[in-house]
Amino acid sequence: MWDLAIKNGTCVTSTESFKADIYVKDGKIAAITTEDLGPSKETLDASGKRVYAGFIDTHVHSRDGGALHKETFAHSTRGAAMGGITTVVEMPNAVPPVCNVENFKAQKANLSSKAFVDFAMWALCLGDINNKDLLELDKYGVAGYKFFWGYALKKSNYNLIYNYDPNDPDVFPPLDDGQVYGIFETVAKTGKLLGIHAENSSLIRRLTERIKPEEYATEYEALLACRPSVCEETVVQTAISFAKVTGCHLHILHTSAKETVDLVDAAQKKGLKVTAETCPHYLTLTKDDFKRVGPMIKGYPPVREKADQQRLWEGLRAGILSHVCSDHAPHTAQEKAGSLFKIPSGMCTIETLVPLMTDSVNKGLITENDIARILSEKPAELFGLDHKKGFLRVGMDADITLVDYDYGETIDINRFQSVSKVSAFNGFKLKGYPVATVLRGHIVMKDRKLIGEHQGEFVAAHPAKKE
């Protein structure tokens, strides 16, 4: 007898959509067929639904350990399950940061005790401070390496400092290009990707020092003037040059600017290992939405112009941008109240990632097959998870997301699973929602309600192929 049968649905991959039933045994996809293979302990009726390999969110800041008043891994991964996500890749800038094997083991144990869905982990690059640790971390299955380009660090705990005082004795200043180049050389030896937060901090600092907010129509336009697209463009240009020489797989995180799409496109056409992601807020909001959503729109890099948004969509449809992720970065409502120049950047986005993208299918911006590519298959391939995750294939983990493209719902922050209730999308009515989430054969969300307790597990990324 099968453990689970998912029947009467339409299976969707990046290349095709077809009617088939899925049979699950021992947490794995055992059969995908139009034949009746007999009884199962549990049946999930997928009539009228699209059946996808479980969605993967590669960019999640759960604040655990660290700022638990903002979020915990238990809450963020429950939000993931509500949003149709079966695997998250947790960012490394926790307390303590995931920058060496000891901290990796501690954080893995911490997250394992709380995970509602499966998870992989990033490692943090600190330059000469921990280059020696990066190769050892690779052996423990980290999914990728993260570098916050241009940010200062506290000497005492390696926490990021967004606006640092050069006279503070407890500060490591932003790394110079020589140290950054060393990171590229080291990560290249692992074969895994180096994800960069691409903002030119020295340019941002200079522009911010001379800004006069009263000269702009809105405070958001003043903020954009401090962080124009050239701040992203110049870092990406340098990073591509370093990737070309070192052979490192460069990955641009949360792409926001049209110029970055053009640079990545050109690099890929030259055969360089350069990929890039973007996020729903860049695809669905522009600077004009500030008047509607207020300070909740603030993120780094910032939401930009309509022309940037249009180029991001073009890049996504063309495959220049590999995938879409949430950049879930929660703060409390109190922290997000006030001047844009003082409040933190980021919002709760893990539950809205999938609905915003499936709504975009109904709007004709992408196809249902694009969803499989940008939320399942490409994330699994890029982060070394495709031996278990991301594909509707026999032998893969039975991670399944059912999407009902006819189901509509209004986003309500009060129903979020996250500790914080902060979103620029509160009140947005969307059509197309995940209505069931299956994790290794266990139904964890059904009919927009969570089921059961946490049962998520760590997923080690397989070794990258060396060329």
Flag whether pLDDT at 463 surpasses 80.
Answer: no
Flag whether pLDDT at 466 surpasses 60.
Answer: no
The two three-digit tokens of residue 93, written as one number: 């800038």
pLDDT tens digits, residue range 267-282? Answer: 999 999 999 999 999 9
CA–CA gap between residue 16 and residue 112 (Å, rounded): 35
Quickly state the pLDDT bin for 446 (edges 50, 70, 90). very high
Of 23 and 152, more confident: 23
Quickly state the pLDDT bin for 467 (edges 50, 70, 90). very low
Q: CA distances (Å), 386 to each of 27, 286, 320, 439, in order?
A: 16, 34, 20, 15
For residue 167, the model assigns a pLDDT of 83
* Phi, psi dihedral angles at 189 (to 5 degrees): -70, -25
What Rg value do the Cα atoms of the chain yield, rounded? 21
pLDDT tens digits, residue range 367-396? Answer: 999 999 999 999 999 999 999 999 999 999
pLDDT tens digits, residue range 57-86? Answer: 999 999 998 889 999 999 999 999 999 999
Instruction: Give which of 52, 40, 41 is closest to 9, Cα–Cα.
Output: 52
pLDDT above 90 covers a percentage of the chain that reads: 90
- Per the prediction, the chain carries an average pLDDT of 95
Quickly state the pLDDT bin for 310 (edges 50, 70, 90). very high
For residue 63, which amino acid is it? R
Best-predicted range by mean pLDDT among 18-27, 92-101, 145-154?
A: 18-27
Kindly report whether the peptide bond that precedes residue 65 is cis, defined as omega within 30 degrees of 0: yes
Instruction: Give which of 91, 85, 84 is closest to 60, Cα–Cα.
Output: 91
Instruction: Give which of 407, 393, 348 is closest to 76, Cα–Cα.
Output: 348
Flag whether pLDDT at 164 surpasses 90.
Answer: no
For residue 165, the model assigns a pLDDT of 80
State the virtual CA torsion across 97, 100, 105, 110 in degrees, nearest 10. Answer: 0
* Phi, psi dihedral angles at 31 (to 5 degrees): -160, 145
Query: Is the CB of residue 290 less than 8 Å from the CB of residue 297?
Result: yes
pLDDT tens digits, residue range 85-104? Answer: 999 999 999 989 999 999 99
Helix residue spans in 61-130 (DSSP H) = 73-82, 101-112
Flag whether pLDDT at 318 surpasses 60.
Answer: yes
CA–CA gap between residue 183 and residue 204 (Å, rounded): 23
Measured at the CA of 342, the angle between CA 341 and CA 343, to 5 degrees, comes to 110
For residue 465, the model assigns a pLDDT of 56
Flag whether pLDDT at 464 surpasses 70.
Answer: no
